[in-house]
Amino acid sequence: HRFNSKIIRLKGRIISFNQNLSSSSSSSSSSVPSRDRCPLARGLESMAPLVRSVEETPDPIPTTITGRIPSWVNGSFLRNGPGKFEFGKDRYTHWFDGMAMMHRFHISDGDVTYSSRFLRSDSYIHNSEKNRIVVSEFGTVAMPDPCKNIFARFFSRFQIPKATDNASVNFVKYKGDYYVSTETNYMRRVDPQSLETKEKVDWTQYIAVNSATAHPHYSRDGATYNMGNSYGKGGFFYNIIRVPPPDETAAKADSPDFAGAEVICSIPAAEPRKPSYYHSFVMSENYIVFIEQPIKLDLLKFMLYRIQGKSFHKVMIWEPKYDTIFHLVNRHTGKVSKVRYRAAPMFTLHQINAYEDNGFLVMDMCCGDDGDSIGDFTLENLRKGSGEEMDKFYNSLCRNLPRRYVLPLTVDQKTPLDQNLVTLNSFKATATMTKPGEVRLNLELHDDELLQYGGLEFPQINYEKHNGRPYRYFYSCGFGNVFSDSLLKMDVHTKELKVWRYPGLYPSEPVFVASPQATDEDDGVVMSVIITPREEKSTFLLVLDAKTFTELGRAEVPVNVPYGTHGVFNEMG
């Protein structure tokens, strides 16, 4: 595990690298895959204990506090992720397939309680009733009922299965209500205090989309924006969705409210038979950017995958022969820019932030140069043994790293060809109009210093104050193993990096919570759930001072928690 003992010993010190950005057009390292530039890991420990089924804790239990959790932190840290990986003798194939488990760390006046519940989705209930997997997931195809005769089992393969409502990706909000979400057309409303499962919500009953992401954006007027697919005789479209703020004059009903939801823009797929997969999108104060990346969905295989017995992740194909296309949309009018912004092939799951600056849109995001990695996170791979087996798997993975792209917003017929249009000081990203109506983007790249941490993912910012606006800091996870083994704070102005890293401890996505009297962007705390494969029931909630990135306190809870996905802080909890 200690493949870089120098960095492991840092434990929160500041590492400064003021020259960490370089233009991809002039950097020879940018053409080399990130995994080939990372130090080879040796002696990694197995992650198997972090991807096993656990029991729920429906009634809140106390935690043991070490240090001090600020008394002003009052609310609930909510986390989501897979928590059950088998039913009877049936086993799931992919990490994404596990049944959704919700976790709640409730914080009040320096004390913390913990509770958890499995989402009572239709998938969970039907699987439990049959004691086998009867609902297909991302990487696991449900087998025909063995009680049926041979002809019924054969013909059942020709039935396209219904989408799962196993919403294990994130907690999201619409009109003040909390939902757990995945990437199908289904969500589940939940009680953020009791974690009780409530109504099942089908997007298709409100607007003409067949799915939606688990990463919506929230505007300052209370509206929620998301993206979803639609397909039919007219082709395949990427749709921008707007759900309006709650009507403050109307009586609040205890039921889902999507009145006024609308599609404000539909973008046709550049390759109708091979649309792109996407996990999130970009939003600034006035624009939304959809990134059409070369992770393609083979629609022919998608229609036939049931007959072939293949799971959904088998129809996702990394095709770097296609460019990455950035579709720029006015968030207020829904109008798509006629300018086509293109960049070299890359893939992105999570955006850091985007903001407008003197006629340019600056976009920061975590990117990789090999989109095959999504399908690699099978439970078989994640449960490989310590040492050589795990080393080989980890060293084969793509590393995601921060990149900056800059879109010029004032491109017109008078814009000159073949010269850099980016005039912002100290920015090394470039944009060049290669022909009328088409702009080629070259990225600003990190320095190789970040490769010492295995790259980074799960970025978070001071969202309430700085989403869509100029910002200085972001927080993320470093990936020195197949699961994150460090927490990172990046100053995008000075390029300083602060690190929290201890051997054998694996943090969740960090979440920033601002202090009530905050004057600086990083006045507040950063929270993360820490788990370990080395000791049973040794989970704790870590609370860091966001400014110094040093530990303030922790709340130890005697339960096993599997590695999860995303979380939020609910101040009303």
Please give the model's pTM, rounded to 2 decimal places.
Answer: 0.91
Mean local confidence (pLDDT), 308-330: 86
pLDDT at 1 over 50: no
Q: What 3-state DSSP class applies to 160?
A: coil
1 marked ligand binding residue: no
Is residue 1 included in any domain, yes or no?
Answer: no
Confidence band of 161 (pLDDT split at 50, 70, 90): low
CA atoms of 279 and 288, how far apart (whole Å) = 14
- Among 57-66, 193-202, 294-303, name the one with the lowest average pLDDT: 294-303
Is residue 234 included in any domain, yes or no?
Answer: yes
- Token pair for 108: 């009040």
215 marked ligand binding residue: yes
CA atoms of 447 and 142, how far apart (whole Å) = 45
350 marked ligand binding residue: yes
Confidence band of 160 (pLDDT split at 50, 70, 90): low
Total domains in the chain come to 1
- Token pair for 567: 């979380």
User: Which residue, 390, 426, 424, is CA-closest to 407?
Assistant: 424
Please give the full DSSP string across 265-290, using - where no structure is assigned: EEEE-SSTTSPBP-S--EE-SSEEEE
393-443 pLDDT tens trace: 999 999 999 999 999 999 998 999 999 999 998 899 999 999 999 999 999
Q: Residue 1 contacts by C-beta under 8 Å, 6 or more apart in sequence? A: 43, 44, 45, 480, 481, 485, 503, 504
Predicted confidence at residue 146, as pLDDT, reads 53
CA atoms of 101 and 190, how far apart (whole Å) = 12
CA atoms of 458 and 568, how far apart (whole Å) = 12
Confidence band of 315 (pLDDT split at 50, 70, 90): confident
The continuous run of DSSP H or E covering 187 comes out as strand 186-190
Predicted confidence at residue 144, as pLDDT, reads 60
Q: Are 90 and 308 in contact (CB under 8 A)?
A: no
Q: What is the CA radius of gyration of the chain?
A: 23
pLDDT at 28 over 70: no
Q: How many CB atoms lie within 10 A of CB 145?
A: 12
Is residue 8 included in any domain, yes or no?
Answer: no
Is residue 11 included in any domain, yes or no?
Answer: no
Confidence band of 19 (pLDDT split at 50, 70, 90): very low
Predicted confidence at residue 415, as pLDDT, reads 95
566 marked ligand binding residue: yes
pLDDT at 15 over 90: no
Mean local confidence (pLDDT), 287-308: 84
Is residue 261 included in any domain, yes or no?
Answer: yes
Mean local confidence (pLDDT), 275-301: 94
352-404 pLDDT tens trace: 999 999 999 999 999 998 887 777 899 999 999 999 999 999 999 999 999 99
Predicted confidence at residue 24, as pLDDT, reads 38
CA atoms of 153 and 514, how far apart (whole Å) = 56
**What stretches of 298-338 adopt beta strand conformation (E)?**
316-318, 324-330
Predicted confidence at residue 314, as pLDDT, reads 72
What is the residue-averaged pLDDT of the chain?
Answer: 89
Predicted confidence at residue 310, as pLDDT, reads 65
Q: Are 406 and 56 in contact (CB under 8 A)?
A: no
- Token pair for 300: 């022919």
- Whole domain around residue 253: which residue ranges? 34-571
Q: How many CB atoms lie within 10 A of CB 300?
A: 10
pLDDT at 446 over 80: no
Confidence band of 80 (pLDDT split at 50, 70, 90): very high
pLDDT at 143 over 80: no
Is residue 512 included in any domain, yes or no?
Answer: yes
326-335 pLDDT tens trace: 999 999 999 9
Confidence band of 313 (pLDDT split at 50, 70, 90): low
Q: Are 116 and 195 in contact (CB under 8 A)?
A: yes
Predicted confidence at residue 307, as pLDDT, reads 63
Predicted confidence at residue 78, as pLDDT, reads 98
473-528 pLDDT tens trace: 999 999 999 999 999 999 999 889 999 999 999 999 999 999 999 999 999 999 99
Predicted confidence at residue 70, as pLDDT, reads 97
**Dihedral of alpha carbons 535, 538, 539, 541, sign:** negative
Is residue 450 included in any domain, yes or no?
Answer: yes
Mean local confidence (pLDDT), 23-31: 44
Is residue 222 included in any domain, yes or no?
Answer: yes
Predicted confidence at residue 376, as pLDDT, reads 87
